Chains A and B, each alone.
Chain A
Amino acid sequence: SQKIEQNSEALNIQEGKTATLTCNYTNYSPAYLQWYRQDPGRGPVFLLLIRENEKEKRKERLKVTFDTTLKQSLFHITASQPADSATYLCAPNDYKLSFGAGTTVTVRA
């Protein structure tokens, strides 16, 4: 069965540093991989989608990579700010989304 793993439950970093989150998946080969942000008590918000033929994608201070050989995506938040504190979810598919457990990022001022 499909399995999605995000590297750690929590990540605490200093403001201005880069946060790097990992998403690994097994037993399938998605054509797309999406990242979402979820704040407490709210629904997820779409951040980025990367296709299998794209190695890297950027949006403002966010960068996502997609390695279909390793079955892994890395999600980077550069120049992190306290407002980036949230839980980040990966979804390696494009329909009937299945999510990883998420990584909660806390950025200290």
Chain B
Amino acid sequence: GAVVSQHPSRVICKSGTSVKIECRSLDFQATTMFWYRQFPKQSLMLMATSNEGSKATYEQGVEKDKFLINHASLTLSTLTVTSAHPEDSSFYICSARGGQLNYGYTFGSGTRLTVV
């Protein structure tokens, strides 16, 4: 089945630095990928839609200059958290649809970001 690989799984960074998270579709091409954020004991919140070869579209309230998304190929989307602050500490997850709608969406394993 469709596999989405996400790296790193955990990252700790200092406040003010930037962190890049990668999301790769391993056995399919993904023209569209989605990025979510999940705080403890809360549900996933869609942050942005990543489109191959074009600009990402961001959900209301998500700062596009803070969360930079690049989707330069059909198998790779990256999310860069710029000038990270402790409040950006969260669980970030990407997803894509690897096949027919009947098979739903495939999610990466997530990245636990801790900003100290």
What is the interface of chain A, defined by CB distance below 8 A to chain B? 32, 34, 36, 41-47, 49, 89, 94, 96-102
Contacts and interface: CB of A to CB of B under 8 A. Distances in A.
B102 interface: yes
A41 B42 CA distance: 12
Interface of B: 4, 6, 34, 42-44, 46, 49, 91, 93, 95, 101-110, 112
Contacts, number: 49
A41 B112 contact: yes
A34 B102 CA distance: 9
Contacts of B103: 46
Contact of B109 (A32, A43, A94, A99): A43
27 contacts: A32-B101, A34-B104, A36-B104, A36-B107, A41-B112, A42-B109, A42-B110, A43-B4, A43-B93, A43-B95, A43-B107, A43-B109, A43-B110, A44-B93, A44-B95, A44-B107, A45-B107, A46-B104, A47-B104, A89-B44, A96-B34, A96-B46, A96-B49, A97-B95, A98-B46, A99-B43, A102-B43
B104 A49 contact: yes
B87 to A, nearest CB: 20
Contacts of A32: 101
Given A89-B44, A96-B46, A101-B42, A46 B105 contact: yes
Contact of B43 (A43, A49, A94, A101): A101
A41 B110 contact: yes
